[in-house]
Amino acid sequence: MMLQEGTGLVVDDPGAINGGSSSLPVIRLSELLPAQRAEVLAGALERYREGESLYEIAPSIGVSKTSLYRHLLNGELAEEWKEAKISHALAELEEAELGLKTAPDMLGITRARERARAAQWHLERLLRRMYGNDVPQDLAGRVNISINVGVVSKEHVVNQEVSVVK
């Protein structure tokens, strides 16, 4: 292990950072100093916001994809990560809707529709206030049934009006 010059990153194989022969992760985010880890994660998040996928970003900085996801989800940048995911899902939904309008054939329509469904699914979970169900979480899945038990008199039934709509 050594410190990569100019970055302050601890690496096992400096050649792997620049696309060298090693495909194994070379940076262990958990072993970095908090300031170094924050810098690496902020850089990865910025690249993600600019449109790169984490599958492209992780190997280019020498980190495993799962480690990068874990640190973005559970670290100090969790809210920023969520906002970036929402932005990606909104952009994907917009692209899919444009694809539906401009698809040259049925296959294009089908692809665009599936992309739209996937983006909507993500938005239902990430941006619930706009795209989710209106049912509060504490009431989701509950069914209330009220049964009134009592004796009904004949007079009560006779005095009720019944209207039939045809």
**8 and 30 assigned to the same domain:** yes
Q: Is residue 138 part of a domain?
A: no
Q: Is residue 150 part of a domain?
A: no
**43 and 113 assigned to the same domain:** no
Percent helix, strand, coil in the chain (nearest 5)? Answer: 60, 5, 35
**115 and 45 assigned to the same domain:** no
Number of H helices, E strands in the chain: 8, 2
**71 and 82 assigned to the same domain:** no
State the residue range of the domain holding 42: 1-76
- Domain count for the chain, please give it: 2
4 touches 27 (CB < 8 A): no
**60 and 8 assigned to the same domain:** yes
Per-residue confidence (pLDDT) for residue 41, from 0 to 100: 93
Per-residue confidence (pLDDT) for residue 143, from 0 to 100: 74
Per-residue confidence (pLDDT) for residue 5, from 0 to 100: 46
Q: What is the pLDDT of residues 39-62, one digit of tens each?
A: 999 999 999 999 899 999 999 999
* Average pLDDT, integer, range 77-93: 93
List residues bridging with 3 in a β-sheet: 10
pTM for this model (two decimals): 0.62
Q: Is residue 8 part of a domain?
A: yes
**23 and 49 assigned to the same domain:** yes
Name the nearest CA neighbour of 37 among 5, 84, 70, 13: 70
Q: Is residue 149 part of a domain?
A: no
Q: In terms of pLDDT, which residue wins out, 26 or 50?
A: 50
DSSP string, 50-104: TT--HHHHHHHHT--HHHHHHHHHHSTTHHHHHHHHHHHHHHHHHHHHHHHHH-S
State which H helix or E strand residue 121 sits in: helix 106-126
How high is the mean pLDDT of the chain?
Answer: 79
Q: Is residue 110 part of a domain?
A: yes
**47 and 108 assigned to the same domain:** no
**106 and 67 assigned to the same domain:** no
Does 151 score more than 80 pLDDT? no
Q: Is residue 104 part of a domain?
A: yes
* Burial (0-12, 13-18, 19+ Cβ within 10 Å), 86: middle
Q: How confident is the model at residue 147 (pLDDT cuts 50, 70, 90)?
A: confident
